[in-house]
Structure 1
Amino acid sequence: MGKYEKDAKELLELIGGKSNINAVSHCVTRMRFVLNDPSVADIKKIEEMKVVKGTFTQAGQFQVIIGNSVGEFYNDFVALAGVEGVSKDEVKQAAKKNQNVMQRAVTAIAEIFAPLIPAIIVGGLILGFRNCIDSLYVFENGTKTLVDISQFWAGVDSFLWLIGEAVFHMLPVGICWSVTKKMGTTQMLGIILGLTLVSGQLLNAYGVAGTAAADIPFWNFGFFKINMIGYQAQVIPAILAAFTLVYLEKFFRKITPQVVSMIVVPFCSLLLSVIAAHFILGPIGWKIGSVISSVVYAGITGPVKVIFAAIFGFVYAPLVITGLHHMTNAIDLQLIADYGGTMLWPMIALSNIAQGSAVLGMSYLQKKNAKAQEVNIPAIISCYLGVTEPAMFGVNLKYAFPFVCGMIGSAIAAIVCVGGSVTANAIGVGGIPGVLSIQPVYMLLFTICMLIAIIVPFVLTVIVGKKKGM
């Protein structure tokens, strides 16, 4: 008899039995179900189970938070239920039948960027560290940086740019690979396509603005010319090019005889997609990305920036529930490419902190409740490190008022943040470590914003909780 056999049996009954399970898998802390009829699941009773830390539904999946012991629980559950577990990718595919068109589009964007997040986090941390050694003037009466006074740290700064450049400037390579991986086509072709977008033969995207039109290199085909412009750090051109490659490969694979498919399919799909990328899709994608980033930038820096900040700071946490927050990754990266930094990412980091601080308030209110603290403490730590789901779904949404208190604290912190033009050089780890991504001149102000995001939700949660008799 497994350790969690009794709990597994209870959960199986409460979700509607084996017949209601379309697919099941698990991640680091959660059981992931695709249910044939989600309305059958008795969510209230499931959340009352001692082993369950919370539940939520996202992207067509019913997710039950178990904690670090989810692997052991999962093994007991599938053995008892007599169902065969599947991979997370298979669960995602099964869940799509429960999604509308908008949800599927958002899920697609999330699935493109999800494999890239570890690299983006590393890149963000590295750029943040480089901020500290090459941009903080704290030596010799505030006139020099660590790099200025030490050859060793100057060498470290230069060396680390190898990784920073690879992550952010070469981002189209990762995007093209991720799209082909997601769509089940040839990943190596995606990598090659991405490399053609950032080739050293092309004028670097960052150098386009400072280059006179007459000096931009071009391919001369006799009766027409195409500018040789790179797409370093560009998101939309890479996505458009990658999906073109995917559908061309599927098309040629479908119509090409098997005996010559090894030659015809990769040749035709890659050649045509590279032509499309540089002749049509790249310029169009660049324009689309520029329009999106300029609109967002205008909102953040224009006369209504305080209102924009208040709204974004308030609604970001609800966006996480819907999954729409994944779209901000592309916008952030486009802002960095176009303006050398993003004012959106600091607000996201503050929202993470605010939700964690609301849980901190709940932890204070429930200090004598050992079971509640088993959920609260890990959720606080996770949130302050940038992962909000355990806090939001395990605590704040369960009681509702802490979630709203966190949103209010996030909005106030965002107003101060945007009002002071706090800008990040890169996106990476959210929460408190997010300060490393902030441009050095704004680090002190961002620290003040973090204190606001900690104090306001905590105080509000405690006040409202005491009025509710908690």
Structure 2
Amino acid sequence: MAENKEIAQQVVDAIGGKDNIDSVAHCATRLRIMVKDKEQVEESEVENIEKVKGVFYNSGQYQIIFGTGTVNKIYNEVIGLGVSGTSKSEMKDEAKKQGNTFQRAIRTFGDVFVPIIPVLVATGLFMGLRGLLTQDQILEVFGLAPADISANFLLYTQVLTDTAFAFLPALVAWSAFRVFGGSPVIGIVLGLMLVNPALPNAYAVAGGDASPIYMLGFIPVVGYQGTVLPAFIAGYIGAKVEKWFRKVVPETLDLLVSPFGTLLVMSVLALFIIGPVFHSLEEVILDLVVWILGLPFGLAGILIGGTHQILVITGVHHIFNFLEIQLLANTDVNPFNGIITMGIAAQGGATLAVAMKTKSKKLKALAFPSALSAFLGITEPAIFGVNLRYIKPFLFGLVGGAAGGFMADILSLEATGMAVTVIPGTLLYLNDQLIWYILANLLSIGVAFALTYFFGYSDKMREDIEGSNA
């Protein structure tokens, strides 16, 4: 068996020699080598070195897997050969500069949203359970009626289901400030400003129960409960604004002026520019969807089922509450629910495929509950935690949504209510539509699952995208 010093020398030689190495670091299992010229690396030679369990290239780094314990010893031997060492965090900062713009953007997007995923998964489960337990059909099984449920108990369940999404902008802005170098606590306050109770509630405005406040007579201002992109943009710009203040303000005044200036500037930008732009976009989208719903030959199902989850990324999808209320009030049925359900189910199917195909325990632990959350009607964990990070699963989820949406439209699926989808949504189709509703969901899930499993995900993709953050 080769000695560790001999293995270290073989690694350095196969990488292209010391002259091709900028620096070397290691994590729990991998030796991370920042190389100058990728073309000088003899990857096949590296893979054949004793004790090497795998190798891949990502963001300017060659990451050689040795395993726990062994990697520390190899690292020390490499440093002993005169190679410059650096910390993992320093190498990660350097790695962030590597890769194309799209790769860096995806990595940054993931850095912002991944810390938020656990609470969204939990909220999704609470929402699904609440939707099931408060349906008339379920209550009848126990000989109960809606009037029998304690108002205080309903209030408690509302606290469980509404908190994370009502204050989602605060979570997003906090994480964005953290990632982009600002003070997270300023991000939290800015995000809370977007959902301040003094502003008209976004869901109430979407439902027609409230109206926007018009600043200067023409700028519509509402709360941004449940939105994502406005808070993300505000968090990104806000972190830059704060860093500018920190740079120009004298140290003696920094504690007073920098937070004040940042929140003043960003409150104006977020509430009067960024927010209203998205509010106007909501109105345009609503008019467009009403027109699309009237298209023949299943086209409405394809278009809406295939694009609805894109709107979830922007956070403007809650405007459709108003559309569903209108449909139920005017026709007593809601065909929109069945179509968007297919887009939701498909994202869950794509996430489930990733969970079943990956060998990463960490990714499985994230993807399985995210898929379950999607099947209970909440796709944010699946989208932001898994599918959008690897792109193809999200796109194949859109394809599955279009396929299921087409079937739902052709079969004229019409919900008897709103606000619940996929598994809980079954309760809105407890009539002669039930079998078709189930089949349409299975089609959406099946198409997205199959495309993602066979063509949309591999652990190599995970290593390429996440390797620098492992």
TM class by shorter chain equals 0.5 to 0.7
Does residue 339 (structure 1) correspond to residue 320 (structure 2)? The answer is yes
Match of 1:283 among 259, 276, 292: 276
- Once the two structures are TM-superposed, the CA of residue 259 in structure 1 deviates from its matched residue by 2.1
1:419-452 Cα deviation digits (max 9, x unpaired): 345999799xxxxxxx768776566753565466
TM-score (norm 1): 0.63
**Structure 1: how far apart are the matches of 2:148 and 2:7?**
60
**Structure 2: how far apart are the matches of 1:408 and 1:250?**
36
Instruction: State the partner residue of 1:185.
Output: 182
- Once the two structures are TM-superposed, the CA of residue 176 in structure 1 deviates from its matched residue by 1.3
Q: 1:436 to 1:201 in 2, by over 3 A?
A: same
**Structure 2: how far apart are the matches of 1:147 and 1:23?**
66
Instruction: State the partner residue of 2:201.
Output: 204
Query: Counterparts of 1:355-370 in structure 2 under 5 Å?
Result: none
Secondary structure of residue in 2 paired with 1:140 = helix
Does residue 446 (structure 1) correspond to residue 441 (structure 2)? The answer is yes
Instruction: State the partner residue of 2:432.
Output: none
- Once the two structures are TM-superposed, the CA of residue 204 in structure 1 deviates from its matched residue by 0.5
Query: Counterparts of 1:121-132 in structure 2 under 5 Å?
Result: 121-132=121-132
The count of corresponding residues between Structure 1 and Structure 2 is 394
Instruction: State the partner residue of 1:86.
Output: 87
Instruction: State the partner residue of 1:173.
Output: 170
Does residue 252 (structure 1) correspond to residue 245 (structure 2)? The answer is yes
Instruction: State the partner residue of 1:20.
Output: 21
For structure 2, the residue ranges without an aligned partner over 5 or more in a row are 322-339, 372-392, 429-436, 456-470
Query: Counterparts of 1:412-451 in structure 2 under 5 Å?
Result: 414=401, 416-420=403-407, 441=428, 445-447=440-442, 449-450=444-445
- Once the two structures are TM-superposed, the CA of residue 200 in structure 1 deviates from its matched residue by 0.9
Instruction: State the partner residue of 1:271.
Output: 264
Q: 1:110 to 1:32 in 2, by over 3 A?
A: farther
Partner amino acid, structure 2, of 1:352: T
1:381-405 Cα deviation digits (max 9, x unpaired): 66972799xxxxxxxxxxxxxxxxx
Q: Is the 8 A contact 1:234 1:286 kept in 2?
A: no
Single out whichever of 287-296 and 163-172 deviates more from structure 2: 287-296
Secondary structure of residue in 2 paired with 1:97 = coil
**Structure 1: how far apart are the matches of 2:17 and 2:196?**
55
Partner amino acid, structure 2, of 1:334: G
**Structure 1: how far apart are the matches of 2:48 and 2:292?**
44
Q: 1:354 to 1:46 in 2, by over 3 A?
A: farther
Partner amino acid, structure 2, of 1:284: V
Q: Is the 8 A contact 2:347 2:394 kept in 1?
A: no
- Once the two structures are TM-superposed, the CA of residue 105 in structure 1 deviates from its matched residue by 3.3
CA RMSD of aligned residues (A): 5.3
**Structure 2: how far apart are the matches of 1:281 and 1:41?**
47
Single out whichever of 199-208 and 227-236 deviates more from structure 2: 227-236
Instruction: Using the aligned pairs only, state the percent identity.
Output: 24
**Structure 1: how far apart are the matches of 2:50 and 2:287?**
49
**Structure 2: how far apart are the matches of 1:14 and 1:297?**
62
Instruction: State the partner residue of 1:133.
Output: 133
- Once the two structures are TM-superposed, the CA of residue 206 in structure 1 deviates from its matched residue by 0.9
**Structure 2: how far apart are the matches of 1:210 and 1:124?**
21
TM-score (norm 2): 0.63
- Once the two structures are TM-superposed, the CA of residue 133 in structure 1 deviates from its matched residue by 2.4
Secondary structure of residue in 1 paired with 2:87 = coil
- Once the two structures are TM-superposed, the CA of residue 207 in structure 1 deviates from its matched residue by 1.2
Single out whichever of 446-455 and 119-128 deviates more from structure 2: 446-455
**Structure 1: how far apart are the matches of 2:45 and 2:275?**
52
Single out whichever of 294-303 and 15-24 deviates more from structure 2: 294-303
Secondary structure of residue in 2 paired with 1:200 = coil
Q: 1:235 to 1:62 in 2, by over 3 A?
A: same
**Structure 2: how far apart are the matches of 1:176 and 1:347?**
28
- Once the two structures are TM-superposed, the CA of residue 188 in structure 1 deviates from its matched residue by 1.5
Q: Is the 8 A contact 2:60 2:99 kept in 1?
A: no
Partner amino acid, structure 1, of 2:229: I
Query: Counterparts of 1:284-363 in structure 2 under 5 Å?
Result: 284-288=277-281, 304=299, 331-332=312-313, 334=315, 336-339=317-320, 344-354=343-353
Partner amino acid, structure 1, of 2:176: V
Instruction: State the partner residue of 1:432.
Output: none
Query: Counterparts of 1:69-80 in structure 2 under 5 Å?
Result: 70-80=67-77
1:144-163 Cα deviation digits (max 9, x unpaired): 898949748x8666434324
1:203-248 Cα deviation digits (max 9, x unpaired): 10111134478x54456xxx75765521111222212322332232
**Structure 1: how far apart are the matches of 2:237 and 2:394?**
40
Q: Is the 8 A contact 1:353 1:386 kept in 2?
A: no
Q: Is the 8 A contact 1:356 1:384 kept in 2?
A: yes
Partner amino acid, structure 2, of 1:270: L
**Structure 1: how far apart are the matches of 2:143 and 2:440?**
20
Partner amino acid, structure 2, of 1:109: F
Partner amino acid, structure 2, of 1:353: L
Single out whichever of 42-51 and 168-177 deviates more from structure 2: 42-51
Q: 1:86 to 1:262 in 2, by over 3 A?
A: same
- Once the two structures are TM-superposed, the CA of residue 202 in structure 1 deviates from its matched residue by 0.9
- Once the two structures are TM-superposed, the CA of residue 129 in structure 1 deviates from its matched residue by 2.9
Q: 1:259 to 1:353 in 2, by over 3 A?
A: closer
- Once the two structures are TM-superposed, the CA of residue 261 in structure 1 deviates from its matched residue by 2.1
**Structure 1: how far apart are the matches of 2:232 and 2:450?**
40
Instruction: State the partner residue of 1:101.
Output: 101
- Once the two structures are TM-superposed, the CA of residue 269 in structure 1 deviates from its matched residue by 1.9
Secondary structure of residue in 2 paired with 1:202 = coil
Instruction: State the partner residue of 2:333.
Output: none
Match of 1:262 among 224, 246, 255: 255
Instruction: State the partner residue of 2:385.
Output: none
**Structure 2: how far apart are the matches of 1:291 and 1:24?**
51
Instruction: State the partner residue of 1:366.
Output: none
**Structure 2: how far apart are the matches of 1:108 and 1:134?**
39
Q: 1:79 to 1:61 in 2, by over 3 A?
A: same
